[in-house]
Amino acid sequence: MNGTMLSMTHARWLLRGGALALAAASLGAYAAEPLKIGVQAPITGQYANEGQGIADAVKLLVKQQNAKGGLLGHMLEVKVCDDQGQAAPAAICARQLVNDGVLAVIGSYTSGAALAAEPLYARANVIQSSDGTSDELTSKGFKTFFRNAPPNSSEAVFTAQFLKAKGLQRIAVVTDHSSFATGLADSVAAEIKKSGGQVLDKVFIDAGSQNYTPVLTKLKSLNPQVIYFSGYYNDGGLIKAQMAQLGITAAFVGGDANQNVAFAKIAGKSATGATIINVPAPADLPYPAAKQFLTEFQQAYGHEPPSIFTLTNADGLRAIIATAERVKSVKPDVLIPALHQLKDFQGLTGEFSWDAKGERIGSPFVAFDITADGGYKIVYPPASVKSAS
């Protein structure tokens, strides 16, 4: 091969190499590492529809964000871990999601599961946004935890106000043994006493045990005006049904974890008239963004969200994304302090802020009755939702 041919061949290889290098550089510019968002929730077990609702909301939001080009040059990727709403699997999920390299975790649904995972996320500097309402979650000083639902203490104050306004003074309190339910029951009982009401008894059930007639028979003999239940919807629906079977005429008032479409299905016809305390239900939210999200959720999954907690968890992720865009960083050391300074965020569930403890500030409660068709009718305070619009 003569020198001219060698020179031409060398030139072609140089050109080809340059093109490959340019292509690689271009690919590197547009192929930033994906950002991983974790979901820790009860995908199976007795709270499965709540966990599936949380996972579905996160997947929908991530799909919508990726359609807009991702977050600060990164596409988002969802990692889901099933904690069954229990502490031991929750700790396993936390280790798994930390090892997966997630930026933030949405969940879990139960306070017990959230509490078990909380220190593991804190040590790894992973953001955790949960609807767990146990006051203990924000008392440990973990900077990585952000509550996306109001705490038990706030709900207890509202519950006592509602009972007093309705002239209901003789209250029997029922709880399960979970950290969430016992904390809420204790807070509600204390607030009832402060407001001049009478707590006739506080009794425990074993969650998931199905037969609550012995406990209810005991309470019936006390002639309460209200049986207040602080636990979860699957037990609450059975309690309401068994109250009807025993001829108990006391009103049923349930804490926020009773607000789930499954409550009315479990309680059947006896669900009508049951009162639940929570932030407004999805259908009652007056905010345009919420109505749009509900429509998009229905179109994506063919059913409505199981409860308001689908939307509060969605708000947790929406607030994290919005804050990252505002500070132009997904570095935890930048993002976490900025989240503690979040003010007046326009959430699907209303305007809220996060304080220095990660507590959600700015969530109104309502009391609503379950209607004959399984829907909700706000009964106290009458104008609360309208005034928020």
Ranking 180-184, 281-285, 358-362, 374-378 by mean pLDDT, the lowest is: 281-285
Q: pLDDT tens across 283-293, in order?
A: 788 889 999 99
At residue 379, the pLDDT reads 95
Angle 294-265-305 from CA coordinates, rounded to 5°: 15
At residue 163, the pLDDT reads 98
Q: Indicate whether 246 pLDDT > 70.
A: yes
d(CA 75, CA 336): 20
Give me the sheet containing 76-82, strands edge to edge: 76-82, 35-41, 104-106, 127-130, 145-147
Kindly state the average pLDDT of the residues 268-296. Answer: 92
At residue 31, the pLDDT reads 56
Q: Indicate whether 158 pLDDT > 90.
A: yes
At residue 383, the pLDDT reads 62
Q: pLDDT tens across 112-146, in order?
A: 999 999 999 999 999 999 999 999 999 999 999 99
d(CA 98, CA 123): 10
Kindly state the average pLDDT of the residues 317-323. Answer: 98
Q: Indicate whether 162 pLDDT > 80.
A: yes
Q: Indicate whether 386 pLDDT > 80.
A: no
Burial class of 24 by CB neighbour count within 10 A (0 to 12, 13 to 18, 19+): exposed
Kindly state the average pLDDT of the residues 1-10. Answer: 43
Whose tokens are 């649904």? That residue is 109
Q: Indicate whether 269 pLDDT > 50.
A: yes
At residue 152, the pLDDT reads 94
For residue 8, name the pLDDT band (cuts at 50, 70, 90): very low
Q: What is the mean pLDDT of the chain?
A: 91
Q: pLDDT tens across 16-48, in order?
A: 444 434 433 333 434 589 999 999 999 999 999
Question: Between β-strands 366-370 and 376-380, what pairing exists: parallel, antiparallel or unpaired?
Answer: antiparallel
Ranking 14-23, 66-75, 80-89, 257-266 by mean pLDDT, the lowest is: 14-23
At residue 363, the pLDDT reads 79
d(CA 124, CA 331): 13
At residue 282, the pLDDT reads 81
Q: Indicate whether 343 pLDDT > 60.
A: yes
Confirm if 52 and 82 have CB atoms less than 8 A apart: no
Backbone phi, psi, residue 268, to 5°:
65, -145
Whose tokens are 């349930």? That residue is 254
Confirm if 250 and 242 have CB atoms less than 8 A apart: no
Question: Between β-strands 170-175 and 226-229, what pairing exists: parallel, antiparallel or unpaired?
Answer: parallel
Residue 160 is encoded by which pair of tokens? 């006592």
Q: Indicate whether 356 pLDDT > 70.
A: yes
Q: Indicate whether 265 pLDDT > 70.
A: yes
Q: Residue 260 CA to chain centroid, in angstroms?
A: 12
Q: Could you give the percent of the chain with pLDDT greater than 90?
A: 85
| All domains of the chain in start order, with CATH | 35-150+285-358 (3.40.50.2300), 153-278+366-388 (3.40.50.2300)
Q: Could you give the percent of the chain with pLDDT greater than 70?
A: 90
At residue 287, the pLDDT reads 87
Could you give the maximum distance between any two Cα atoms of the chain, in Å? 110
Q: pLDDT tens across 180-212, in order?
A: 999 999 999 999 999 999 999 999 999 999 999
How many angstroms separate the Cα of 156 from the Cα of each of 117, 193, 200, 248, 308?
A: 25, 11, 17, 24, 18
In 3D, which of 228, 183, 222, 162 has the Cα closest to residue 380?
Answer: 162
| Nearest-10 Cα torsion for 330, 335, 339, 341 | -140
For residue 4, name the pLDDT band (cuts at 50, 70, 90): very low
Q: Indicate whether 230 pLDDT > 80.
A: yes
Residue 155 φ/ψ region, left for φ over 0, alpha for ψ in the -120 to 50 degree band, beta for the rest: alpha
